[in-house]
Amino acid sequence: NAGVTQTPKFQVLKTGQSMTLQCAQDMNHNSMYWYRQDPGMGLRLIYYSASEGTTDKGEVPNGYNVSRLNKREFSLRLESAAPSQTSVYFCASSFDGDNEQFFGPGTRLTVL
């Protein structure tokens, strides 16, 4: 099993460009999450999907949109990238909200 996979691993964007970060899990998990990690600030939840067909905002949703494409895949879209969105983005999944979250390898995004 690959666990949680993310693409791309690295990305450089110019201000105003758009892009989609992809996340997939092969553990038959119901819940999926997107976090961003900035130095000294831990991980902050952007959006989450408690189950297929549902999505909800987390702590820092502004400037992002998500799509739970199916049970396996959960994508994060930046419509108009800003330098403040420079960060490392982690996708995670869990069987349900009461269980361990498994993280993907992360995407390092730089917005110039």
Binding site for another protein (CB under 8 A): 31, 35, 40-45, 48, 50, 56, 58-59, 90, 94, 96-98, 100-101, 103-106
Q: Report the Cα–Cα distance between both ends of the chain, in Å, rounded.
A: 36
Q: Nearer Cβ to another protein, position 49 or 85?
A: 49
Task: Report, in Å, the least distance between residue 2 CB and another protein.
Answer: 13
Task: Report, in Å, the least distance between residue 100 CB and another protein.
Answer: 5
Q: Nearer Cβ to another protein, position 64 or 90?
A: 90
Q: Nearer Cβ to another protein, position 31 or 85?
A: 31
Q: How far apart are CA 58 and CA 73, in angstroms?
A: 18
DSSP classification of residue 2: -
Q: Nearer Cβ to another protein, position 58 or 63?
A: 58
Q: In Å, how far are 53, 98 from 89, measured between CA atoms?
A: 22, 22
Edge-first strand order for the sheet with 4-7 is 4-7, 19-25, 74-78, 64-68
Mention every residue, 6+ apart, whose C-beta is less than 8 A from residue 2.
26
Task: Report, in Å, the least distance between residue 3 CB and another protein.
Answer: 10
Task: Report, in Å, the least distance between residue 8 CB and another protein.
Answer: 15
